Structure formats: structure tokens, C-alpha cells
């Protein structure tokens, strides 16, 4: 089984890195944004994509380019499962992976206790398994599975 781990930089990357012991047991790789420290843990199993921000002037063209990059990477790698902790840069990868037949697992950010993230709102219908790390989050995502903190 091949697993793709997806996370934007910062806290999302810290969260997905907590799953590294699982990643070591499988044929796996990480996709994240340029500019982080992920190489130290993931080594050459790390694929970097440009950072994206929905407030940037050229967001729409950049988002379309990210979808195309996701398609290219995932057609080459062919993961059976993708696991994402968000944020927005992971959405195109989850959509493309689903269309290519992979199972999608989304884990809502540990930082989200009192509100739902935009990526979580987008992913709740796309994910095969939608997980929350706080019991309180089931108020926003009743269909989610509470898994506790991954930290």
C-alpha cells in the first residue's frame, strides 16, 4: 500500500509529521509547501509545491496550476490512500486523488476547537474518512470520527 501525506507548511506540517512512524511502515511520501524544515524528517520522500494563499492577487491561476501539479504528481506516484491535515494547498491533491481512486482521510487541525476551517468545510463531503481531534468539533462536523489529538 502506498500512502501520500499532505500538509501545508507550519502547524499543519507539524501535525502530519506526528504520523511519521506510520509513514515509515509503508511506501509513502509527503507533499508540502516550499520553505519548511520537512526534509530533515522525510528525506528524499518529500515533494514540494509552491505556497498558495487565497488572498494573493493571482490566486485563481495559482490554484489551477496547483490542480495540474497535483494531477501530475499523483498520476506518477499512484497512492492508494492520502492523509491530509490541511490547509488549502492540500485540497487539489485530495480531489485529484479521489478521482484517481485513492481513499482520502482528512484530519481537521488540532488548532480548530471553536470553529470549522475552510478546508474542513470543503473536505467534509470529499473525504472517505473525516476525523476531528476535539470532541467539540463534532458540533460542526457531526459525521466526523473523533480520534483525539495526534500530537
The cell for 27 is 511506501
pLDDT at 40 over 70: no
**Model pTM above 0.85:** yes
The cell for 28 is 509513502
Asked if residue 3 belongs to a domain, the reply is no
Asked if residue 8 belongs to a domain, the reply is no
Distance CA 96, CA 92 (A): 6
Mean pLDDT to the nearest integer, 125-143: 95
**In terms of Cα–Cα distance, which of 85, 80, 109 is closest to 97?**
80
Q: Note the pLDDT of residue 114.
A: 87
| pLDDT tens sequence across 83-109 | 999 999 999 999 999 999 999 999 999
Distance CA 57, CA 91 (A): 19
Asked if residue 71 belongs to a domain, the reply is yes
> What is the pLDDT confidence band of residue 44, given thresholds at 50, 70 and 90?
confident
* Domain count within the chain: 1
C-beta pairs of 66-72 under 8 Å, 24+ apart in sequence: 66/92, 67/92, 67/95, 67/96, 70/95, 70/96, 70/97, 71/96
Asked if residue 15 belongs to a domain, the reply is no
Asked if residue 16 belongs to a domain, the reply is no
Asked if residue 108 belongs to a domain, the reply is yes
Mean pLDDT to the nearest integer, 6-30: 94
In degrees and rounded to multiples of 5, residue 92 shows phi and psi of -60, -35
Asked if residue 151 belongs to a domain, the reply is no
Location of C-alpha cell 481531534? 133
The CATH number that applies at residue 34 is 3.40.50.2000
In contact, 4 and 31? CB cutoff 8 Å:
yes
Q: Note the pLDDT of residue 140.
A: 93
Task: Return all residues near 34 (Cβ < 8 A) that are at least 6 apart.
Answer: 9, 48, 49, 50, 51
The cell for 77 is 506516484
Q: Can you give the residue range of the structural domain that contains 105?
A: 23-146
Question: What's the distance, Cα to Cα, between the start and end of the chain in Å?
Answer: 24
Asked if residue 111 belongs to a domain, the reply is yes
Q: Note the pLDDT of residue 38.
A: 55
Amino acid at each position: 500500500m502506498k500512502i501520500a501525506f499532505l500538509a501545508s507548511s507550519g502547524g499543519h506540517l507539524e501535525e502530519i509529521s506526528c504520523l511519521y512512524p506510520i509513514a515509515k511502515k509503508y511506501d509513502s511520501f509527503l507533499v508540502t509547501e516550499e520553505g519548511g524544515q520537512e526534509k530533515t524528517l522525510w528525506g528524499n520522500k518529500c515533494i514540494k509545491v509552491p505556497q498558495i494563499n487565497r488572498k494573493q492577487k493571482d490566486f485563481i491561476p495559482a490554484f489551477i496550476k496547483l490542480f495540474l501539479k497535483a494531477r501530475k504528481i499523483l498520476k506518477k506516484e499512484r497512492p492508494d490512500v492520502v492523509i491530509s491535515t490541511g490547509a488549502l494547498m492540500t485540497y487539489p491533491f485530495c480531489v485529484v486523488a479521489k478521482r484517481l481512486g485513492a481513499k482520502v482521510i482528512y484530519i481537521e487541525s488540532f488548532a480548530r476547537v471553536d470553529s470549522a476551517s475552510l478546508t474542513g468545510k470543503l473536505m467534509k463531503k470529499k473525504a472517505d474518512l473525516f476525523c476531528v481531534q476535539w470532541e467539540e468539533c463534532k458540533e460542526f462536523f457531526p459525521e466526523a470520527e473523533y480520534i483525539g489529538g495526534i500530537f
